[in-house]
Amino acid sequence: MAQVAVLAQVDIDPAQKEAFHARVQKHAADSFANEEGCLLFQVNVDQENPNRYVMYEIYRDQAAIEVHMNSDHMAAWRAASADWVKDRELTMMNVVNEV
């Protein structure tokens, strides 16, 4: 099975930047530590828009993404960040050069 990448772009409420910044790092660490199929979870901030976060994630396969999407820490992340996120765009990609 081919690895799958997720590119998540999130625009946040500037008033919630500090809280979001701390919580997104916890979410990334939880995903990487608790999901065998999570191979990479990198959090980035757009250089031109400090209120846009871009998460780049790589999973072993589609089944690993399903585990991620249905995990308890994903549910906690969604609940915690719901009021902080103004816009979200997800792009699913097949990985060409696997990690």
Domain ranges of the chain: 4-94
**pLDDT, tens only, 10-52:** 999 999 999 999 999 999 999 999 999 999 999 999 999 999 9
Token output for 56: 């780049």
Say what the pLDDT of residue 1 is: 67
Please, which residues have CB within 8 angstroms of residue 89's CB and are 6 or more apart in sequence? 8, 9, 10
Mean pLDDT, the chain, integer: 95
Task: Tell me what the mean pLDDT of segment 69-81 comes to.
Answer: 93
**98 pLDDT band (50/70/90 cuts)?**
confident
Q: Which of 95, 20, 19, 6 is nearest to 55 (CA)?
A: 6
What are the respective helix, strand and coil percentages of the chain, to the nearest 5?
A: 40, 35, 25
Does the structural domain 4-94 have CATH classification 3.40.50.2300? no
Kindly state the average pLDDT of the residues 60-86: 94
> Does residue 22 contact residue 53 with C-beta atoms inside 8 Å?
no
